[in-house]
Structure 1
Amino acid sequence: MVCEFSANCIPSSSSMTQTVSVGGAEQKEGSISCTTFNILAPIYKRLDQQEQNQCLRESDFRAFWMGRNRAILDWLLYESSSNIICLQEFWVGNEEIVRMYQERLGDAGYVSFKLARTNNRGDGLLTAIHKNYLSVLSYRELLFNDFGDRVAQLFHVQSVIPSLQNQKGNIPQEILIVNTHLLFPHDSSLSLVRLRQVYRILQFVESYQRENKLKSVPIILCGDWNGSKRGHVYKFIRSQGYVSSYDTAHNYTDSDADAHKWVSHRNHRGNICGVDFIWLCNPNKLLKPLRTSWAEAVFGIIKYLLRKTSLAEGDAFAFLKGENHGDFITYSAFCEALRQVNLIGLPFGLSFQETKDLWAQADRNGDGIVDYEEFKQKIWNPTWSEEPEEHLETDIKNPKQGTDEKAFGFKVKNAVFFPREVEQGMWPENYSLSDHASLTVVLSPACLPCSRVQ
């Protein structure tokens, strides 16, 4: 059975009114708003809901994809009205769609940037920034050229409106914004690929900050992260000082009890999950080195894979040391164990240098072996998975000793999903704009004590 697109599928203005205030009324107070939305490229949208004909896609029917994308633009421009719009699965391969978005967004005051995925995948990213609120100082593109042909966009923007000016004077405040779409976790073997994609994004941001001597700027990461709050990617991003703006606005924690309070996606398998995030990192966060967080995240994957085979702590240590009769792990045995759990030796596995760096993190005293204590502290109990919430949420009331330096940042004022049913963990059957919900966040400027380690 083919599901036809009709006007009945488009949300009415009355049903969206409660979301309008997020991007509209509160704007007068000097806040900025941001929307992230995976709009489901027509080349991927199946029209046969019974899956009897997998080849029948929306892209074959102009009336369907044109009507749905017009409705998406209506929603973005007249209901969400965000200063920053980050779209994923934008159909960059269709000139008519590209022209329609660029013209309508341009007429509404936005400057837009599109980026296709590598290897002619057909879809990609589109980011639009409203010129009345933010000006784009620099735009960079990140091509992963990896297993998933994923890409990311980096924007360096500064405020235009006076309410976002620096507390010290008339120096415009600056912000870094990223839009991306991570690989879908088809199976657990792709956990490392997804983790590496995030690692490269954070390296890219860090490199840009060093290159441009940006010490105290807030960073906003937007997109479809294709992973839940219980996954390795989520924990890795959290370990680098980022907070989920939606969870912050609704006082949700990283606990298992709060892991499924909301959803944002119904995937092709029919499962509903929360995968769309707008991350915020203020410049007052106390951060550990990025390489350390990366190593801890990979050790977390190793522990997951070993526990998946029912290996307890002692058995896992024995597995890693292999045939070595001493009470320690050698580098060669470590590599062989990683090969057996498919973390090296595959096209998307750990590289030689990554493996060496990982070993250097595990061998804390540099004696060339990893003893049982090092194994427990660095591999079996990686710090990032055990950190209490207080460590990740550095108290902004306690800056560095002996300094009163201030930094510009944001506080999460509000955050909502549309359709609103997903905030209760439900997926409405009458929603057809996409297989993702849109997330809109309002951030208000704040002057924070600067305690971030650079």
Structure 2
Amino acid sequence: MSVSYRGTIMRTKSGKISSPVEQEPCVSCTTFNILAPIYKRLDQQNPNIRESDFRAFWLARNERILDWLLYECSSIICLQEFWVGNEELVHMFEDRLAAADYQTFKLARTNNRGDGLLTAIHKDYFRVLNYRELLFNDCGDRVAQLLHVQSVFPSSINKNTRVQQETIIVNTHLLFPHDSSLSVVRLHQVYQILLYLETYQKENKVTHMPVILCGDWNGSKRGHVYKFLRSQGFVSSYDIAHEYTNSVYADKWVSHRNHRGNICSVDFIWLRNPNKPRKPLKISWAEAAFGIIKFQLQKASLAERDAFAFLRADNNVDYITYSAFCEALRQVNLTGLSYGLSFQDTKDLWVQADFDGNGVLDYEEFKRIWNYTWSEDPDDDCSLDDSNEGNEEEAIGFAVKNAALFPREVEKGIWPENYSLSDHARLTAVFSPVRLRCPQRSP
């Protein structure tokens, strides 16, 4: 799906004209959870029988996976559940990808889980400038990879200037929500990624570049992680390509059939261009965390007034104290566990909730956090254009040209019974370079 893009005029949703960078190839990105053989069950009646015990089975399936990946020849490949614990499989992937001019990076999950991540960058499209590993050290032993890459094709930022476009790529696999209380772990994992990303960009003075987040997010478009990423300026490439931005179409497509037999949409390629406005990270995180708290309270059949009484505990007062707030979170399994909200997390949430800073939450303050309105799709404060006016800067970003899921049936919400490559569909997005006009940012 690495196709050339030759100067077609694009029109944004606001109707403004945007001209892409001419005479430069598109870049494509594939994300795929390839189902590690140590997790693939061959007999549903006996879950202890795994594919990893039968070399011929896992070897043949992974050879077919590689055949498809090399046939597509995406500029970026992000794999999850890569069986890093098997040297034969690792060498097979590394050797075949290297022969096809890919540079590969693998990262095992912590505590010797056996699987991990593999990211491959095609040398015809990108040079890798930096590679970082992020270990979450949480109950799911999850990890993430960050790659800072530079295009091998110079991009025209204006009539007189050509630059080597730089991009940040992240590959990750979030925790499976075995219980709704684990939502806070997944949210914390994403918060760590974005905090690390923000720090990396500031320290290296690379804020004016697009960011692509790939992986198995183990959560749908209705979840708190999705809303958190949206509030931070990220868009789902597939949904943009197919104009599924309205929540009405949340279940239009699926990408995974989990071990419970449920089909769901959990695999995403997120894009954030450097001109996207976003809230301060800590505020977005607090709003998402309050959303999880509200969900847990509603799950316990507590409406607004009842929830306020619950958080107030047995205190004969019309406000919530910090100690009562902490105890309520413990009772709904959001604190007091190794993977729950930390003491500092809880303190930060309290500071965000206590608007007047008097040390207690009255009912009006409680209502404000109970009825938080998410800013999932903030209005752009700059447009896609190729001019440079006022206190604006120009940068190179990406427009989503196309995106597809394979097998194609999953795009209609159908999981084909004859599909055997994985329990996930693979997702490929195609991006075309585009000039962006952005506000100048203070150093």
| TM-score of the pair, normalised by structure 2 | 0.92
Tell me whether 1:76 sits opposite 2:69 in the alignment.
yes
SS for the counterpart of 2:162 is coil
Name 2:20's counterpart in structure 1: none
Aligned equivalents of 2:29, 2:440: Cα separation in 1: 24
**Matched-pair identity in %:** 69
Q: Following superposition of structure 1 onto structure 2, how do residues 38-437 of structure 1 map, counting pairs within 5 Å? A: 38-48=33-43, 51-78=44-71, 80-162=72-154, 164=155, 166-167=157-158, 169-255=161-247, 257-377=248-368, 379-384=369-374, 387=375, 389=377, 391=378, 396=383, 402-437=390-425
Counterpart of 1:15 in structure 2 is: none
Once the 2 structures are TM-superposed, how far is the Cα of residue 402 of structure 1 from its aligned partner? 4.3
Distance 1:159 1:397, change over 3 A: closer
Q: Is the 8 A contact 2:224 2:291 kept in 1?
A: yes
Question: How far off its partner does 1:23 sit?
Answer: 3.0
SS of 2:365's equivalent in the other structure is helix
Q: Does 1:23 align with 2:2?
A: yes
- Which amino acid counterpart does residue 373 of structure 2 have in structure 1? T
Root-mean-square deviation (Å): 2.0
Contact 2:296 2:332 in 1 (8 A): yes
Q: For 1:141 and 1:47, how far apart are their aligned partners in 2?
A: 33
- Indicate conservation of the 8 Å contact 1:283/1:452, yes or no: no
- Whole-Å separation in 1 of the counterparts to 2:380 and 2:132: 29
C-alpha distance in 2, partners of 1:288/1:121?
35
- Name the CA distance, whole Å, in 1 between partners of 2:80 and 2:59: 17
The answer to which structure has the higher strand fraction is 2
Deviation track 1:228-255 (CA, whole Å, cap 9, x = no partner) reads: 1111111111111100000000001241
Q: 2: distance between equivalents of 1:45 and 1:73? A: 18
Q: What amino acid is the match of 2:47?
A: Q
Residues 295, 400 of structure 1: alpha-carbon distance in 2 compared, 3 angstrom cutoff:
farther
How big is each residue's C-alpha offset from its partner over 1:134-188, in whole Å with a ceiling of 9 and x where there is no partner? Answer: 00000000011110000000000011023x4544623311110000000111110
Structure with greater proportional helix content: 1
| Corresponding letter in the other structure for 1:396 | S
Structure 1 residue 375: deviation in Å?
1.2
Instruction: Give, in whole Å, the separation in 1 of the partners of 2:431 and 2:380.
Output: 17
Secondary structure of 1:277's aligned partner: strand
Moved more, 396-405 or 283-292: 396-405
1:210 Cα deviation after fit? 1.2
Q: 1: CA distance between counterparts of 2:389 and 2:162?
A: 28
Per mean C-alpha deviation after superposition, the further-off stretch among 392-401 and 180-189 is: 392-401
Q: Deviations over 1:373-409 (max 9, x none)?
A: 22111x201232xx364x2666626999942322221
One-letter code aligned to 2:383:
I
Given that 1:134 and 1:157 are in contact with CA atoms closer than 8 Å, whether structure 2 keeps it comes out as yes
Distance, in Å, in 1 between the alignment partners of 2:200 and 2:243 is 32
1:241–1:392 Cα contact (<8 Å) kept: no
In structure 2, the partner of 1:443 is: 431
Structure 2 alignment gaps of length 5 or more = 7-22
What amino acid maps onto 1:296 in structure 2? E
- Tell me the alpha carbon deviations over residues 321-366 of structure 1, each in whole angstroms, 9 at most, x when there is no partner: 2223332211111111111111111111111111111101001121
- Amino acid corresponding to residue 302 of structure 1 in structure 2: I
Q: Measured at CA, do residues 453 and 334 of structure 1 come closer, stay the same or move farther in structure 2, by a change above 3 Å? A: farther
- Cα distance in 2 for partners of 1:108, 1:166 equals 31
Mapped to 2, the partners of 1:371 and 1:39 lie a distance apart of 50
Q: Structure 1 regions of 5+ residues with no counterpart?
A: 1-21
Q: Distance in 1 between matches of 2:360 and 2:147?
A: 43
Q: In structure 2, what is the Cα distance between the partners aligned to 1:148 and 1:202?
A: 18
1 CA distance for matches of 2:358 and 2:440? 32
The amino acid of 1:404's aligned partner reads E
Q: Distance in 2 between matches of 1:418 and 1:395?
A: 35
Report the Cα distance in structure 1 between the residues aligned to 2:76 and 2:440, rounded to whole angstroms.
26
Structure 1 residue identity aligned to 2:415: W
Take 1:404 and 1:349, find their aligned partners in 2: how far apart are those partners? 42
Amino acid at match of 2:302: L
Per-residue CA shift, 1:68-118, capped at 9, x if unaligned?
Answer: 11111110011x210000000001011011111111100101000000000
Work out whether residues 42 and 59 of structure 1, in 8 Å CA contact, stay in contact via their aligned partners in 2.
yes
Residue pair 1:286, 1:453 contacting (<8 A) in 2 also:
no
